Structure 1
Amino acid sequence: MLAAGLLEVNIVCDRSMTAVTCLQESWARLGARGLRPMLDRFAEATGLVGMNERAAAAALVASRLEPAYADAGYVPQFPTWPFSERALADAAAAGMMPRTLLMRCDAFRRRCLAEGAVSVCDSLSAAGAPQEDLPQDAEFDLAAACREADTAGIRSDDDTWLGQLLRDTFDLYALEDDPDDTLDVASKGEPDQRIPPLHGRLIYIHRDENDRERHVCYRALQHQNAIAFQARLRAALTASGISARIPDRELLLIRRGPMPGGAKTKQLVDAFTAAGGLSIDPSDADLRVFVALRELHSRAQEDGASDRFERWIRAEQPLVNTAFFRDAGLAHAAKVGQAQGTAHVAGERPAPPVRSPVLEGQAAAESFAVAKEPASPKAAHAEAGKTVQPDQRTPRQLAPDAEVVAIPVGHRLSPDAPGVSLPLRLLPRHTAIIAGSGSGKTVLLRRLVEEAALAGIPAIVIDPNNDLSRLGDRWPERPRGFAPEDDRKAALYAERVEVVIWTPGVHAGNPLFLSVLPDFAELGEDRDERQQAIEMAAETLGPLAGAKTNLQRGVLADSLRCFAERGGGNLAAFMALLADLPDGISQIGSAAKLGLGMADQLHAAIATNPLLKVEGTVLDPRHLFFGRDPARTRISVINLSGLASDAAREDFVNRLQMTLFGWIKKNPSPRGMLYVVDEAQTFLPAQRASPSLGSGIKLVAQGRKYGLGMIVATQVPRGIHNQVVSNCTTQFFGRQSAPATIAAAQEILAANGGAAADIGKLAAGEFYFATEGSGRPAKLRTPLCLSYHPANPPTPEEVIRQAKRSTEPGTCARAS
Structure 2
Amino acid sequence: MTLAGPGLDDERRNALQAVHFNSAVAPDDVWSPLAHHVPELHGPVAAELARAVASAARKPRSTPIGVVLRGERGVGKTHLLGWLRQEAQARGGWFFLLKLLDDSSFWAGAVHGAISGLNREGDQLGAMLDALAKATGHTDESRLRLRGTIPISREYLDELVDRVRELDPQVALECQDTLRALVLYRARGRPSEVGHRFLALEDGGIDEADRAEWGFHLRSRSAQLVLGDLSRIFALTGPVVMAVDQIDSVITQRPGASGLADRLADGLMRLREETRRTVLVVACLPRSWELLAERSVNSAASRFAVLDLRTAMPSAGVAEAIVQRHLGALYAEEGFAPPHPTWPVARAAFDGAEVAHSTPRRLLQRVEEHVRWCLAHDVEAELRDFAADRGEGPAPEPDAGGLAELDERFARACEAADVASPLDPAREDELVPGLLSAALRCYAVEHGGDLVLDQPPGRKPALHARLRLTLDEASEDEVWWSFRAIAHGHSTAVLARLRSACLEAGVFGGTGKRRLVVLRGTPFSGGPRTAKAVGELVAAGGEVLPLTAEDLRVFSALRELVAQAPAGLLAWLAARTPASRTPLLRRVLPPVGAGRAGSDHSSGQDEPVWPEQEYEEPIRALPDVPQQQWPSPRWPERGWPAAEPTRLAGNLFTPRPGAPDPFQPDSGWNDAPAAHDATITLGADATTGRPFTLPLVLLRKHVAVFAGTGSGKTVLLRRLVEEAALHGVSSILLDTNNDLARLGDAWPSPPEGWSPGDADRAHRYLSGTDVVVWTPGRESGRPLVLDPLPDFGAVRADPDEFRGAVDAAVAGLLPKIALSGRRLVHGRAVLTEALAAFAGRGGRDVAEFAAFLHDLPEGASTMRDAVRLAAEMADSLHAAIITDPLFGGSGHRLDPGELLRPPPGARARVSVISCVGLPTDGQRQAFAHQLQQALFAWVRRNPAGDRPLGGLLVLDEAQTFAPSRGEVVSSASTRLLAAQARKYGLGVVFATQAPKGLHNSVTGNTATQFFGRLTAPAQFQAALDLAAARGGRVDDVSRLNAGRFYGATEGTGFTKLSLPMCLSHHPQGALTEVEVLARARP
Tell me the TM-score normalised to structure 1 length. Answer: 0.48
